[in-house]
Amino acid sequence: MLTITLTLLLAAGVQQAPDTAYARMVREATTDERFLPASVATIPLSEAVPSPLDHFGVIAGAPGVAHPTAESYGYLRTLAAASPRVAVQTVGSSLGGREMIIVIIADEATMRNLDRVKADLGALADPRRTDQTAAERIIAQAKPVYYVQTGQHAPEMGPPEMILELAYRLAVSEDPAIRRIRENVVTLINPAMEPDGRDRQVEWYYRHTKGRERLDDGFPRSVPYWGDYVYHDNNRDGIQISQNITKASYRTYFEWHPTVMHDLHESVPLLYISIGTGPYNRNVDPILVTEWQTLANWDVQSLTAQGVPGVWTWGYYDGWWRGYQTWIAANHNGIGRFFETYGNSGADTYLRDLRGSRFAGDSVTSTQWYRPWPPTKKVLWSLRNNTNLMQAGVLSSLDYAARNGRELLRNFWQKGANSVRRGLTQAPHGFVIPPFENQRDPRRAAYLVNQVMRHGIEVHRSTDTLPGSFVVLLNQPYRDFAVDLLTRQDYPAEAEFPPPDVAWTLGLIYGVEVQAVDDSTVFAWPGLQLLEDTVAFHAQTTIRTDAGNSGRSTWLMRYAAQAEALPALFALRERERRAQAFAAEAPFSTQDGTWDAGTIILENLSAAGAGWLAHEFGLPLTQTDGVDVPRHPLDLPRIAVYHTWISTQDEGWIRYWLDQLNVPFTSIHKDDLRAGQLKRRFDVIVVPASRGDVSSWIHGIDSKWGPIPYTATAEFPSHGTPSSTPDMTGGPGFAGLGELEKFLDEGGTVIAMGNAVRFVTETGLIRELTPHNAAGLFHPTSVVRAKARRPDHPILYGYPEVMHLLRGNGPLWRTAQRDRHTIVLQYGMQPLPDERDTVLSEIMGMPSREMSTPSASPAVHQPAGSPGGEGSGRYVLSGMVRNSNAIIGHGAIFDVPAGANEVGRVIAFSFNPMHRYLNHHDAPMVFNAILNWNDRVGGDAAVSSGEN
């Protein structure tokens, strides 16, 4: 009935009255009239459709009010029930089981023809089936889709409140500008991209931070977990597509092909409109760069003309890295952009001092060409200010789309057409991923193929020219993205404002060989079959004919650092408890050929069990007679993963890796260390990277704020997941550190990654490593060359002597010469300067010898199919490193005896080998450390406790 009434009223041309009570509350909640643009200063009154004030009793952006997803979704569904211009669609489910939705808003006629909207944009997305003439016919009647996403980062609490009012305004307002938007654009709104994080943060606000006198008092403003695994990195999963939030965005993109995807964030004052400083990614279409500029300038002009200060562009972000969520559109010929407005991590009002905020070298209170009207040095900032600026900015962007929809759609088609043309006319014209049998780790090769396809990039399988190979032809609309994913990134070293992430070459970071094809005849190769489904690799067993298919015998697993080996052995323990696994400590030969050190020997394994391992885990097994080779048992450890309450980011990724592989582990924190008895529970403690110095590792969150509970209660049911504590403050303390020392004294192994190495070095648990300040070194995340110093070490089983790894900025450690045997793997090919023989003159007391000028290490031959084999000179294989000489020779991985009588050990990675679920090539080094946790081979005397 309400819907019919609304339609009749509007059809009759009834003049809308403003909601004066709502507007008065907006003015009262706005701290300065300059923070109240005209486009949001009033709001229409509707008798048919409830406003946020009608529904909640408060306006959107009201002081002291934050809505969890159930309340927000409830209002949006009420809006959809009351208006034919609004619909709600479920697009996924969070890890916590919360619904993910989008809200669809357009005029009634468009809402009745949404399938046509999707079909039109789907046709424009592929210029191979829609030529220019057909495209122009579609553009003449098609409508752009503008997708607004909020609530990605939990403490950025303003946009999820703002969109409640935005949705109402778009649904009911008859202002000419709003009608133009509604009639010419389909607006999609995601009200809470990460609903788990949204609910946890809202509860955190009401439980801990509402009403605090100062924003900068040092009290934690963020809930410790947003998603169950991923914290702030949920905006950096666009390449891996590992988290539910990213999967939902991808599903929405490929269903709707939105012309623009627009993320709403909070971080910088007062409203930043993204274009970035550059350098822009070289493999994006130049049209996209102009679109970024045009839309940003439109928005800055629009809000500045409405009397709003502090609106700016350019000086924040760069425009290079493709892994952000908003790049889902940019990677597929749409437009990806974002806003950043000022936020208070809640709904309280605070006096904010802007004098310390500098971006691209300039204060945010300075006048620049990209910031024509800066704010004052201090501002009194409220949630409603945030709501006003963000909503006015989005309305400006929607207005541009409504006025220029045909241009945006034409550019969308043209970017795809340009991509196809470049594939036909520019090398490379394709990529070949060699067959599984030619890959070091066939499962990773299958993963790469599937990952490329998940991005919408077409892949063929060759049955003729290169049988079994996978071929990516580049005469397709996402050619530019494919080239960027599968080739080396060469970030401009001279860039003034480089980002932390500059490389992502999939072949390298997955450890898969990928070959570029520069010959255009690839398009005519016979026997190319388009893949319609994912691919999988299942290994085979080689059975000795004289052994038959029954009974138990010895099997050899050709080990090449396959990630599946670790979960396979855990699963085998449950399936066949009599089977035993060993690692060969030296190369050996059998009638089936030669086998490298690290080969896994499985004894007392049934043929059925061998077949199951080969099929389920992709691990090739060969039956053999017993082999006589030095070996040690692979004792599967009891694993703990440690997290701090200061930062759960990298720890969450480690848990994600292990859960994906079904490797059992226990999550522990400071309370567990304090409780002691660690060796009774665990054999290996993995300590992922975390923010902070050594004081933070020991003492954690300042105890003056305590207690800060993170427990599930009736009032705060979303807390206590995935970890719980009655008090987040304080760290393990010296008592907990002493218990970790006992763990090492009793033969435990600690695996520390990245910044976590501070926890074991600067506290004195090991003393062989000291922090090293490499002057001038700038090392954003890049793929770099590394060399084994101890090639026979178990951590390097399955790897060649010269390899590569993914390293970002972070601390380095060095050792005295007497302790260099602790270095397992080094950065680059050259030794440290103090290890080079630069003494060219006579040495008294030594026989005369022929002197020669030291030269670089000889080039090391890389095995066929090994990624990155370019000789010994190049350190950076993909990305950019400044002053790389400062890191060459330093340790990448250390294995340091620890504890009483050195029965324990610390394995220290000075990089993150499990970064964002990206570097699948590197992660098996950690798995090797876990599998060989109590085995020292090579440089150390062999030690094998046999304890399980």
pLDDT at 729 over 50: yes
CA distances to 246, 283, 921 from 239, rounded to whole Å, are: 9, 15, 16
| Distances 843 to 780, 839, 850, 852 between C-alpha atoms, Å | 43, 8, 12, 14
pLDDT digits (tens, 9 = 90+) for 737-790: 999 999 999 999 999 999 999 999 999 999 999 999 999 999 999 999 999 999
What would the two tokens of residue 873 be? 């000179």
Question: Mean per-residue pLDDT for 691-719?
Answer: 96
The residue type at 410: R
Question: Has residue 5 got a pLDDT over 80?
Answer: no
Q: Is the pLDDT of residue 940 over 70?
A: no
Q: Rounded to the nearest 5°, which phi and psi values hold at 724?
A: -140, 150
- In tens, the pLDDT along 884-901 reads 999 999 999 999 999 999
Over 129-183, what HEC string results? CCCHHHHHHHHHHCCCEEEEECCCCCCCCHHHHHHHHHHHHHHHCCCHHHHHHHH
pLDDT by residue (tens digit) across 133-171?
999 999 999 999 999 999 999 999 999 999 999 999 999
Per-residue pLDDT for 938 more than 90?
no
Query: CA 313, 489, 880: angle at the middle one, nearest 5?
Result: 80
How high does pLDDT run on average in the chain?
93
DSSP string for residues in 44-66: B--SSS--HHHHHSS-TT-TT--
Compute the radius of gyration of the chain from its Cα atoms: 30
DSSP state letter for 731? -
Residue found under tokens 């350098």: 279
Query: Residues 447-454: what's their mean pLDDT?
Result: 98
pLDDT band at 873 (very low <50, low <70, confident <90, very high): confident
pLDDT tens sequence across 102-123: 999 999 999 999 999 999 999 9
pLDDT for the residue 937: 75
**Across residues 794-806, what is the average pLDDT?**
98
- What mean pLDDT comes out for the span 305-315? 98
Residue 779 has which token pair?
Answer: 């090392």
- SS in 3 state form for 196-220? HHHHHHHHHHHHHHCCCCCCCCCCC
- Of the pLDDT bands very low, low, confident and very high (cuts 50, 70, 90), residue 845 is confident
Query: Which strand (E) or helix (H) includes residue 679?
Result: helix 678-681
What 3-state class would DSSP assign to 260? strand
**Cβ 331 vs Cβ 238: under 8 Å:** yes
338 has pLDDT over 70: yes
- Residue 156 CA to residue 496 CA, distance in Å, equals 28
pLDDT reported for residue 50:
98
DSSP calls for 660-694:
HTT---EEE-HHHHHH--HHHH-SEEEE---SS-H
Q: Which helix (H) or strand (E) holds 26?
A: helix 20-29
Residue type, 208: H
Q: How far apart are CA 229 and CA 248, in angstroms?
A: 16
DSSP alpha helix (H) spans, 259-319: 286-305
Overall pTM surpassing 0.85 (yes/no): yes
Percent of the chain past pLDDT 90, that is, above it, reads 91
Residue 844, pLDDT score: 86
Q: Is the pLDDT confidence value at 858 over 80?
A: no
Per-residue pLDDT at 6 exceeds 70: no
Q: pLDDT of 17-33, one tens digit each? A: 999 999 999 999 999 99
pLDDT digits (tens, 9 = 90+) for 583-599: 999 999 999 999 999 99
pLDDT of residue 672 exceeding 90: yes
Q: Is pLDDT at 939 greater than 80 in this prediction?
A: no
Over the stretch 464-498, which tens digit does the pLDDT of each residue have? 999 999 999 999 999 999 999 999 999 998 999 99
φ and ψ at 947, to 5 degrees? -70, 140
The gap from C-alpha 754 to its chain's centroid, in whole angstroms, comes to 17
In terms of phi and psi (left: phi > 0; alpha: psi -120 to 50; beta: otherwise), the region of 351 is beta
d(CA 2, CA 81): 9
**pLDDT for position 547:** 54
Residue recorded with tokens 């949006």: 76
- Report the range of poorest mean pLDDT among 39-53, 237-251, 672-686, 924-938: 924-938
